[in-house]
A and B are shown apart, each in its own frame.
Chain A
Amino acid sequence: MIKVSPRYCCTVLLAVVSSLILRSTASGGEISFIPAGNYAPFYTKEGSSSSEDKLIRVKAFLLDIHQVTNEEFRQFASSNEEWRRGNVSKLFADTHYLQHWGEEGKEFGPEEGNKPVVNVSWFAAQSYCESVGKRLPTTDEWEYVLNDMDRNKEAVHRAVMDWYAVPNRELPSLINRPKNGFGISDMVAVVWEWTNDFNNFMVRSDARDSGSKAAFCGGGSLNVTELDNYAAFMRYSYRSSLQGNFTGKNLGFRCAKDKE
Chain B
Amino acid sequence: MKKLIGAFLGLAYLTLGYHAQAATADENEKEKIKGQEVAVITDAPNVPPPITRKFATKVLVNLEVKEQEARLADGVSYTFWTFGGKVPGKFIRIREGDLVEFHLNNHPDNKMPHNIDLHAVTGPGGGAASSLTAPGHSSVFSFKALNPGLYVYHCATAPVAMHVANGMYGLILVEPKEGMTKVDREYYVMQGDFYTQGKNGEQGLQPFSMSKAIDEKPDYVVFNGAAGSLTGENALQAKKGETVRLYVGVGGPNLTSSFHVIGEIFDTVYQEGHTSNPVKNVQTTLIPAGGASYMEFKVNVPGNYILVDHSLTRAFNKGALGMLKVVGDDNKLVYSGKTGDEVYLAEGASINANPDVKGSKAVAKNKDDRVKLGGNIYNTNCAACHQPSGAGIPQAFPPLAKSDYIAKDKAKAIKAVTGGLQGKLVVNGQEYNGVMPSWSLNDDEVANVLTYVYNNWGNSGLDVTPDDVKQHRVAASKNAAE
Q: Which of A167, A207, A248 contacts B156 (CB 8 A)?
A: A207
CA distance A168 to B79 in the complex (A): 11
Residues of chain B within 8 A (CB-CB) of A206 are: 115, 117, 124-125, 128-129, 132, 156
Please, which residue of chain A has its CB at the minimum distance from the CB of B126? A206
Report the minimal beta-carbon distance from B208 to chain A, rounded to whole angstroms: 6
What are 29 A-B pairs with beta-carbon distances under 8 A? A94-B136, A165-B207, A166-B79, A167-B79, A203-B158, A205-B128, A206-B115, A206-B128, A206-B129, A206-B156, A207-B156, A207-B158, A207-B159, A208-B125, A208-B128, A209-B124, A209-B129, A219-B158, A234-B112, A238-B111, A238-B113, A241-B134, A241-B157, A242-B113, A246-B136, A248-B134, A249-B108, A249-B136, A250-B135
A250 touching B111, Cβ below 8 Å: yes
Closest Cβ of chain B: how far from A94's Cβ, in Å?
7
- Which residues of chain B are within 8 angstroms of A168 by Cβ–Cβ distance? 109
Q: Which of A99, A162, A192, A230 contacts B159 (CB 8 A)?
A: A230
Whether B205 pairs with A166 at a CB distance below 8 angstroms is yes
Whether A248 contacts B158 in the complex (CB less than 8 A), given A209-B125, A237-B113, comes out as no
Is B158's CB under 8 angstroms from A233's CB?
A: yes
Number of A-B contacts (CB under 8 A): 120
Scan A198-233; emit 1 where CB is below 8 A from any B CB, else 0. Answer: 000001111111000000100101000000101001
Question: Is there a chain A Cβ closer than 8 Å to B161's Cβ?
Answer: yes
Q: For residue A203, which residues in chain B have a CB less than 8 angstroms away from its CB?
A: 158
B111 to chain A, nearest CB (A): 5
By Cβ-Cβ distance, the 3 closest A-B pairs, closest first, are: A241-B113, A206-B125, A205-B132
* Distance between B103 CB and nearest chain A CB, rounded to angstroms: 16
Chain B residues positioned under 8 Å from A207 (CB to CB): 115, 128, 156-160
Residues of A within 8 A of B112 (CB): 164, 234, 237-238
Which residues does chain B contribute within 8 Å of A233, judged by CB atoms? 158-159, 162
Q: How many residues of B contact A (CB 8 A)?
A: 38
- Closest CB of chain B to A248's CB: distance in Å? 5
B109 touches A240 (CB 8 A): no
Distance in angstroms between the alpha carbons of A251 and B210 in the assembled complex: 24
Q: Which of these, A162, A219, A236, contacts B160 with CB under 8 Å?
A: A219
Cα distance A240–B128 when bound, in Å? Answer: 13
**Which residues of B have CB within 8 Å of A164?**
79, 111-112, 207-208
A247 touches B136 (CB 8 A): yes
| B158 and A237 within 8 A (CB) | yes
Considering only residues 149-203 of chain A, those with a C-beta below 8 Å from chain B are: 161-168, 192, 203
Determine how close the nearest CB of chain B comes to the CB of A37; give it in whole angstroms: 27
Contact of B68 with A by CB under 8 A: yes
Partner of A249, one of B109, B158, B205: B109
Residues of B within 8 A of A74 (CB): none
CA distance A250 to B112 in the complex (A): 9
Query: Is A84's beta carbon under 8 Å from chain B?
Result: no
Interchain nearest-CB distance for B132 vs A (Å):
3
Q: Write out, one digit per residue, whether chain B residues 142-163 have a CB within 8 A of any chain A CB (1) or not (0).
A: 0000000000000011111110
Q: Which residues of B contact A230 (CB under 8 A)?
A: 159, 162, 210
For A, the interface residue count at a CB cutoff of 8 angstroms equals 39
Q: Give A residues with C-beta under 8 Å from B.
A: 94, 96, 99, 161-168, 192, 203-209, 216, 219, 221, 228, 230, 233-234, 236-238, 240-243, 246-251
Chain B residues positioned under 8 Å from A165 (CB to CB): 79, 205-208
Other 17 A-B pairs with CB < 8 A, given A192-B111, A206-B117: A164-B79, A164-B208, A165-B205, A167-B68, A168-B109, A205-B131, A205-B132, A206-B115, A206-B124, A207-B156, A241-B157, A246-B137, A248-B108, A248-B135, A248-B136, A249-B136, A250-B111
Which residues on B sit within 8 Å (CB–CB) of A251? 135
Most buried by B among A161, A205, A209: A205
Q: What separation, in Å, do the CA atoms of A216 and B132 have in the docked complex?
A: 14
Q: Which residues of B contact A240 (CB under 8 A)?
A: 113, 132
List the B residue with the shortest CB-CB distance to A240.
B132
Q: Give chain B residues whose Cβ lies under 8 Å from the Cβ of A248.
A: 108, 134-136
Pair A205/B207 contact, Cβ less than 8 Å:
no
Residues of B within 8 A of A243 (CB): 134
Are the CB atoms of B159 and A161 closer together than 8 Å? no
Contacts of A228 in B (CB 8 A): 210-211, 214
Kindly list chain A residues whose C-beta atoms are within 8 Å of the C-beta of B134: 238, 241-243, 246, 248
A207 to B116, CA, bound (A): 11
Instruction: Decide yes or no whether B69 CB sits under 8 A from chain A.
Output: yes
A224: min CB distance to chain B, Å: 9
**With a CB–CB cut-off of 8 A, which chain B residues contact A246?**
134, 136-137
Contact partners of A161 in chain B: CB under 8 A: 207-208, 210
The smallest beta-carbon distance between B165 and chain A, in angstroms, is 10
